[in-house]
Amino acid sequence: MAHGRGLSVKIIDPHIHMVSRTTDDYQALAISGIHTITEPAFWAGFDRGTGEGFKDYFNQLTIAEPARAAKFGIKHYCWICLNPKEAEDLKLAEEVLEIIPDYLDRPRALGVGEIGLNKNSRNELKVLERHVAIAAERDELILVHTPHLEDKLKGTRLIMDAILNERRINPSRVIIDHAEEQTVEEIKDKGFWVGLTLYPNSKCSPARAVDIIEAYGSDKIWMNSAADWGVSDPLATLKAANEMRMRGHSKALIQKIFYENPKAFLSQCPKFEAS
């Protein structure tokens, strides 16, 4: 429960890359009332050379990191995939796609993610379609990474088209993350969930994210820190919640954005239980 200056709400951070963070960050999350987190598979900052490297990474996500989080009283869940930044190499992609179902079976894996596009290329799109097919066959939740900056609008549209082309996928079981002002309305109109990422410089500031809530509403939307190995802030959700409090939004609305909404989406996977 976050108590800073009267902010007493429960918070779930549904997108944070704890493999890149220190134990000090786990302690900060625990003290701040962020007791449930989910970690999508992502790019390590360099391209991995073999499928074997991904086995190690998926073991870290499904076994090592939940154990590290538990020492701080934090429930840690994860998502499994080959991230789009490494999808250009189709041979590597095939190796990784083959092992993904084994790791999706694990108790801490909530679904397929963060899949999507990075530079909106043909190969990235092929690999995205393969991931979507795996999710459809297994009835998995999907967490989507959308491209950065000038690539975001086009990439978000390509991603949504690819997912909607797979008729077995229900959009209400898909969250399109890193949404911004140019994509929120289209994502909502197509029935997907919206993720807002609070990340310095390249994504939303807390103030802009709250502006988006005021402009586009609070239904089917969550916020996350996406804190990773770059300049980022694992307590960004807390700061956005405080921005809402400072503007005079109700505690019930803050609780909806930072706890009830992510809980509702994630609870579509029976493995998930919020702290």
Partner 1 sequence: MATEKSPMSAKEVLDTYFLENRARILDIASFLDRIDRAKASEAGKGDFRYKAFMKALKILVQSEGNRTKALQVSFSDLSKEPRKSAAGLKGAYGAWEGPFSEDH
Site residues for partner 1 per CB under 8 A: 85, 88, 118-125, 147-154, 157-158, 180-182, 185, 188, 202, 207-208, 211, 213-219, 246-249, 253
Question: In sequence order, what are the residues at sequence separation of 6 or more whose Cβ sits closer than 8 angstroms to the Cβ of residue 238?
Answer: 2, 4, 7, 11, 32, 33, 34
Which CA distances in Å does 123 have to 161, 210, 249? 16, 35, 44
3 state DSSP class of 269: coil
Smaller CB distance to partner 1: residue 123 or 268?
Answer: 123
Which CA distances in Å does 11 have to 32, 35, 129? 9, 7, 32
Which CA distances in Å does 237 have to 86, 101, 226? 28, 31, 10
Q: Are 94 and 51 in contact (CB under 8 A)?
A: no
Smaller CB distance to partner 1: residue 75 or 208?
Answer: 208
| CB of 205 vs partner 1, minimal distance in Å | 11
| CB of 73 vs partner 1, minimal distance in Å | 32
Smaller CB distance to partner 1: residue 65 or 243?
Answer: 243
Q: Are 203 and 231 in contact (CB under 8 A)?
A: no
| CB of 59 vs partner 1, minimal distance in Å | 25
Smaller CB distance to partner 1: residue 29 or 241?
Answer: 241
| CB of 65 vs partner 1, minimal distance in Å | 24
Tell me the β-bridge partners of 38.
77
Smaller CB distance to partner 1: residue 24 or 150?
Answer: 150
Smaller CB distance to partner 1: residue 47 or 139?
Answer: 47
Both tokens of 260, joined, read 């009830």
| CB of 18 vs partner 1, minimal distance in Å | 22
| CB of 214 vs partner 1, minimal distance in Å | 5
Spatial distance between the Cα atoms of 34 and 251, rounded to a whole number of angstroms: 16
